[in-house]
Structure 1
């Protein structure tokens, strides 16, 4: 360790990346060899989730430490309020240099006005990177909002810019947020464009069980998606090499995570915005600094806990705003009261709430809402129950089966308490459609609660 009293903090943030792209979660294609290696040698958050499976709200929550209903960014196209304190604002007060590179998605314009940048000092970013760039044509905006072309494949272009920032900011603690668009699809073509030659390597290869069963757009998209993930991991490893060569690894905490997952149109009309693991579970690790030899953490954590951990690393004292908790007590094996439940807010596809425990997934939805008309509700209907031990890829929806009434009663109470605590709303939960003799019905995923509601 050098003389710095606080570690450098680097967030390497991907977009729409499923947890099971990692070999540590069963993927056999060696897509994330760098992630897997460093996660095993450092700290791996095995059960890591978003708190809102859509881009803007998840990013607002990570920057602010608050649920989407508290930030007001409960769906895309709602800018983060300028008076909300962000990671950059908190850490600047602790003496950090701050930088943001890549996709922002929390501004009111393109390019992003200075007052909408969350307080970051150094800026090389775009509000909607998927619209200002393409796979081999990356355009972002600098501090003066001048358009800047970054050469190379987009993942490499953004990572190169991050490496330049790291090399130029070694004299004092820095906080760098590197925000990739990959492996998100290219919106204007509905494609997942990997580096040249990478799609062919992975098309027709291993597919997760949920995509095998439900298909969606996976046959068309998975090869390109995997190719993007492979290049992300290569760039991640290259950035770590630079940190190590500058002898900054012991003095730097590097966080790898994503805003949400990807269900490949198996659960909704597009790629996320559902309660399922494919939409909400992400690969996450903390490496370097105090996280070396931290081991695998099995407790359930979410993106709000990452915010709280970053502030803990930066020695920010006032964290009363945080809806999450620092994972440092888990790393130090001093935590005795970790709440092993994840609460998820869902919008746009539906107005829904989900509770994820170590064994159960429970979801409720306001069937009168289109998911865009309001941030919250006081009237929900049960739509999903999954036994994650027996059915980890959620192919058998158990809602409405009498044998699970006791489980549902308990989850219903927990959900009401969660919503009251987080949203300050007392809610009604209507029971799902009753199913008798389910063994004779040929159950299919989501068939019952979806039968009366268009996606």
Structure 2
């Protein structure tokens, strides 16, 4: 790395599950480029979105702040025109900033001019070629974006290829000064009008029947009804083409001798459970909804190894600023995960990541290395569309991810796991404060009838907690919550 400030290139996919990657367990072989990047760079094994729906997750990725803080706690709400953003922070340091692809943060609705984004709604990006709702202004082979003047631009080729081509042009045009480029792809999101996954010609057929995630296999009746089995070939085909585009992008950096000077980060806004957990694709606390791929390379991330500690993608903004040697603004709520590289530790980092849920229900969740803990506002007490938070929640889900990684056995309400739930409840209450939310009451799950209670093995009785230094244990030792 020379003395020049590192370039930063973020590749964001839409609705991509973490386990579609080879390093995440997929056997279909659709992500060889991502896998190589993860192995040579830094692979965050358990990356979790702060909100399993498009606009709130994207707002967090642009600001490093919680959806309830930015006000974008559901789709259709605009990101504030002023305030700290990724683009403004890098621009202040002399970077040229560019955005390509899907935006979804101008607050526009389908049918309300869902393409052009006014300059004041672009979060400080200087170069611009994007669409507010790309799924409504494009199709697989018809990609229409809008330039800095709001004029439509049609790009040739398959949609993800067209956007990758535009990204390569941006890199070539701005290689002589530090740049931040945010490439936001639509794939592997479904095409809304047809509820289909239009892969490039021949790609659906190549991957049909090649791989089925264990949760979809277990929930196969719901998967068949919702179309998961029918759609997986197209979904995987889309991901394969995106991965090929990632390879072309990295080749372009090599050819311009920018590979060592460019930080590349690849992640997704949220995942997809293919209508097996509710009546659509996300908006649940299950890993299929909230867990996403995350790998980085270049700069300090090359050779960073495997990060096992759960990390929120809210942390990406401060991490990229930190890696570029830039100050992290005080109002950023995320935390840089650079200390975790190379097997490092971050003693002040909580054991869990926090998730806010809206639109389908008002809920909150914690995801630690071992446990998933979910609370939901009782029906009628909070409107999932209009209320960003609730005054009262009830425990609704508890999963032991060591024995049940695909969350098929809900332990909420079991006497055997009451201690676990109590400790997670205390950690959740601390997270509400940390995220700037008002205090709330969390009621225990209704106790299940005795005939449904399970025996707990000796190890679970002895180790009801995941052993990481936060929550009840940390407070007992006098550490800050």
Normalising TM by the smaller chain, what interval? Answer: over 0.9
Do residues 392 (structure 1) and 405 (structure 2) align? Answer: yes
The 8 Å contact of residues 401 and 435 in structure 1, kept in 2 or not, is answered as yes
- Partners of 2:63 and 2:317 within 8 A in 1: yes
2:301 is aligned, of 291, 296, 313, to: 291
Choose which of 233, 239, 263 in structure 2 pairs with 1:253: 263
Aligned 1:92-241 pairs, distance under 5 A: 92-109=91-108, 110-215=115-220, 216=223, 217-241=227-251
Report the counterpart of residue 377 of structure 2 in structure 1: 366
Structure 2 counterpart of 1:343, from 332, 335, 354: 354
> SS at the partner of 2:89?
helix
- Could you tell me how far apart the structure 2 residues matched to 1:301 and 1:108 are? 28
Query: Alpha-carbon deviations, 1:86-105, whole Å to 9, x = none?
Result: 10011100010000000000
Map of 2:365 onto structure 1: 354
Q: What is the deviation of 1:340? A: 2.4
Contact 1:402 1:436 in 2 (8 A): no
5+ unaligned residues in a row in structure 2: which ranges? 109-114, 455-481
Which TM-score applies when normalising by structure 1? Answer: 0.94
> Is the alpha carbon distance of 1:303 and 1:283 closer, same or farther for their aligned partners in structure 2, counting shifts above 3 Å?
same
Matched length? 440
**1:89 aligns to 2:77 (yes or no):** no
State the partner residue of 1:316. Answer: 326
Match of 2:54 in 1: 55
1:335 Cα deviation from its structure 2 partner? 3.5
Gaps of 5+ in 1: 442-455
Q: Do the aligned residues in 1 keep the contact of 2:216 with 2:228 (CA within 8 Å)?
A: yes
The superposition leaves residues 32-91 of structure 1 with CA deviations (integer Å, 9 ceiling, x where unpaired) of: 000001110111111111000000000001101100000000000001010122100111
Counterpart position of 2:457: none
The equivalent of 1:70 in structure 2 is 69
Q: In structure 2, do the counterparts of structure 1 residues 172 and 133 end up closer, same or farther at CA, with 3 Å as the change threshold?
A: same
Identify the residue that residue 424 of structure 2 maps to in structure 1. Answer: 411
Q: CA deviation at 1:317?
A: 1.9
Alignment of 1:295-310 (within 5 A): 295-310=305-320
Deviations along 1:374-413, whole A, 9 cap, x unmatched? Answer: 0011101110000000000000001101111111111111
Give 1:444's aligned residue.
Answer: none
CA distance in 2, matches of 1:205, 1:281: 22
Tell me how far apart the structure 1 counterparts of residues 301 and 402 of structure 2 sit (CA, whole Å).
29
* 3-state SS in 2 of match to 1:299: coil
- 1:277 and 2:287 are equivalent in the alignment: yes
Task: Report the alpha carbon displacement of residue 336 of structure 1 after superposing the two structures with TM.
Answer: 3.4
From 391, 395, 400, the equivalent of 1:378 is 391
Q: Cα–Cα, structure 1 residues 176 and 375, in superposed 2: closer, same or farther, change >3 Å?
A: same
- The alignment status of 1:22 with 2:8, answered yes or no, reads no
Residue in structure 2 matched with residue 265 of structure 1 by the alignment:
275
The answer to whether the 8 Å contact 1:94/1:314 transfers is: no
CA contact (8 A) 2:321 2:328 kept: no
TM-score (structure 2 length as normaliser): 0.89
The 3 A distance-change label for structure 1 pair 151 and 376 is same
Q: What's the CA shift for 1:214?
A: 1.1
Answer yes or no: is the 8 Å Cα contact 1:10–1:175 preserved in 2: yes
| CA drift at 1:325 | 1.2
In the TM superposition, what whole-angstrom CA distance separates every residue of 1:118-168 from its partner, at most 9, and x where no partner exists? 111100000000000000000000111110000000000000000000001
Residues in 1 aligned to 2:377 and 2:21: alpha-carbon distance in whole angstroms? 34
The answer to whether the aligner puts 1:425 opposite 2:430 as a matched pair is no
3-state SS of paired residue (1:384):
strand
How far 1:425 sits from its partner (Å)?
1.4
For 1:434 and 1:276, locate their aligned partners in 2 and report how far apart those are by CA, in whole Å: 22
Q: CA deviation at 1:417?
A: 1.5
Contact 1:249 1:289 in 2 (8 A): no
SS of residue in 2 equivalent to 1:315 = coil
* Contact 1:106–1:116, Cα closer than 8 Å, also in 2: yes
Is contact 2:68-2:388 (8 Å) kept?
yes
State how far apart, in whole Å, the 2-side matches of 1:119 and 1:251 are.
Answer: 23
User: Shift of the alpha carbon at 1:170?
Assistant: 1.0
Q: Which residue of structure 1 aligns with residue 466 of structure 2?
A: none
Residue 394 of structure 2 aligns to a residue whose secondary structure is strand
Q: Secondary structure at the match of 1:390?
A: coil
Alpha carbons of 1:416 and 1:159: their partners in 2 closer, same or farther (altered >3 Å)? same
- Establish whether residue 33 from structure 1 lines up as the match of residue 32 from structure 2: yes
Other structure's SS at 2:366 match: strand
Residues 318/22 of structure 1: CA separation in 2 closer, same or farther (3 Å cut):
closer
Cα deviation, 1:239-270, whole Å, max 9, x if unaligned, reads: 10110111101100000000000010011110
| Residue-by-residue CA offset, 1:4-26 (whole Å, 9 max, x unaligned) | 1x100000110000000011111
Counterpart of 2:7 in structure 1 is 8
Counterparts of 2:341 and 2:425 in 1: how far apart (Å)? 32
